[in-house]
């Protein structure tokens, strides 16, 4: 039998990656629901190491763990560090789930990635299609490392009755995102490029690929709310997509960001660079049916908020 829904009021919740982009919104929402939140820092706990995981669990004594910590990056970072992305993400998750089970943690929420889907998944991606093929090559090591946590989650539920769930958020964006050009994802990278080009009077910006792939994006606060609703209400082995159900081509995305940032120069496509997965859009019916999650923030509104936040951060006047 599935446990009933959890009231987070007064619960001890350990959020790995709680100081990160998504984690900062998850921890804020947990606190607003009255949870006692423990945020392990990377300086104090290296979660790739088993001893460090045990120390974190001793220090936090959690009833619930929300595992957001991951080594992530865009296509460039995935191509340069495939071994690290595989090993670090796998070891963090596998050991953490195992130690959490041994300690009798009440609920474990594992965050996967839609990079785990096969390269040519029928659109929109349904959770049942997860095993139809190999992921897109540039991020397969990362995607597969995360996918193993689903296997583990289901196996530990089957053998031990461990209440572990697995969520797969689509590409996130929003305020507090990573704008470092070495490791940022497409939206912050484009916002930064457009604003810098506009400020310097540059006549063009360069964009990777040919603009044809499509992507779906979920505003970070919506994602945080989805994670908390699942933590409270979802207790089943099947993985769940967290998305907005929208789809936009990279070409249209670049043009939209250029318009919202006021950059009027030329867009130069570097077709020698990889496109990544051809299309991405999720079927989001399971999340709505199982725990009532539906994205609230429209894409253009989310982009405006993100641009405004970044401009304020770098001291650029609107």
Q: Mean pLDDT throughout 168-194?
A: 93
Cβ 5 vs Cβ 29: under 8 Å: no
What's the whole-number average pLDDT of the chain?
Answer: 94
Place of tokens 């933590």: 231
Cβ 175 vs Cβ 224: under 8 Å: no
Per-residue b or e along 100-123, where b marks 16 or more CB atoms closer than 10 Å to that residue's CB: bbeeebebbbbbbbbbbbbbebeb
Peptide bond into 124 cis (omega under 30): yes
Residue 278: per-residue pLDDT: 83
Supply angle C-alpha 207, 212, 214, rounded to 5.
100
Residue 67: per-residue pLDDT: 98
Supply angle C-alpha 266, 219, 12, rounded to 5.
145
Classify residue 191 by burial, with Cβ atoms within 10 Å: 0-12, 13-18, 19+.
Answer: buried
Tell me the C-alpha to C-alpha distance, in Å, between residue 113 and each of 6, 118, 149, 260: 24, 12, 11, 28
Question: Comparing 42-56, 73-87, 195-209, which segment has the lowest mean pLDDT?
Answer: 73-87
* Chain Cα centroid distance, residue 106: 23
Q: Mean pLDDT throughout 81-95?
A: 96
Question: Comparing 183-187, 193-197, 220-224, 255-259, which segment has the lowest mean pLDDT?
Answer: 183-187
pLDDT tens, position by position, 280-308: 899 999 999 999 999 999 999 999 999 99
What pTM value is reported for the model? 0.94
Question: Comparing 124-133, 179-188, 203-212, 261-270, which segment has the lowest mean pLDDT?
Answer: 179-188
Is residue 219 among the annotated active site residues?
Answer: no
% of the chain at pLDDT higher than 70: 97
Query: Which DSSP category does 50 fall into?
Result: H
The Cα 156–Cα 164 span in angstroms is: 8
Which of the following is catalytic: 117, 142, 234, 310?
142
Residue 316 or 248, more confident:
248
Tell me the C-alpha to C-alpha distance, in Å, between residue 126 and each of 39, 117, 131, 168: 32, 9, 11, 11
pLDDT at 87 over 50: yes
Structural domains of the chain in order of their starting residue, each with its CATH number: 12-173+217-245+281-296 (3.40.50.720)
Identify the three-state secondary structure at position 44: coil
Q: Which residues, in sequence order, are CB contacts of 17 under 8 Å at separation 6+?
A: 23, 67, 68, 69, 70
């Amino acid at each position: 039998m599935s446990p009933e829904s959890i009231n987070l009021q007064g619960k001890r919740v350990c959020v790995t990656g709680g100081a990160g982009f998504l984690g900062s919104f998850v921890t804020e929402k947990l606190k607003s629901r009255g949870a006692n939140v423990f945020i392990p820092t990377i300086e104090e706990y290296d979660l790739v190491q088993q001893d460090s995981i045990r120390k974190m669990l001793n220090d936090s004594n959690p009833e619930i763990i929300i595992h957001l910590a991951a080594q992530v990056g865009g296509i460039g970072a995935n191509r340069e560090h495939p071994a690290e992305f595989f090993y670090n993400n796998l070891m963090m998750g596998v050991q953490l789930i195992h130690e959490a089970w041994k300690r009798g943690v009440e609920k474990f929420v594992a965050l996967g990635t839609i990079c785990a889907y096969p390269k040519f998944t029928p659109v929109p991606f349904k959770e049942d299609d997860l095993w139809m093929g190999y992921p897109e090559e540039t991020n397969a090591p990362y995607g597969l490392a995360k996918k193993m946590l689903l296997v583990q989650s289901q196996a530990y539920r089957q053998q031990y009755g461990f209440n572990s769930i697995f969520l797969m958020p689509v590409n996130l964006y929003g305020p507090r995102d990573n704008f470092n050009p070495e490791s940022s994802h497409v939206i912050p990278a484009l916002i930064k490029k457009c604003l810098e080009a506009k400020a310097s009077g540059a006549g063009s910006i360069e964009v990777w690929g040919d603009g044809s792939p499509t992507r779906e994006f979920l505003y970070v606060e919506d994602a945080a709310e989805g994670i908390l609703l699942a933590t409270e209400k979802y207790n089943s082995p099947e993985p769940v997509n967290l998305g907005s159900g929208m789809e936009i081509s990279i070409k249209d995305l670049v043009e939209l960001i250029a318009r919202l940032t006021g950059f009027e120069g030329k867009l130069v496509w570097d077709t020698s660079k990889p496109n990544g997965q051809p299309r991405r859009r999720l079927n989001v019916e399971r999340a709505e049916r199982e725990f009532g999650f539906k994205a609230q923030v429209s894409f253009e509104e989310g982009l405006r908020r993100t641009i405004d936040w970044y401009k304020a951060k770098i001291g650029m006047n609107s």
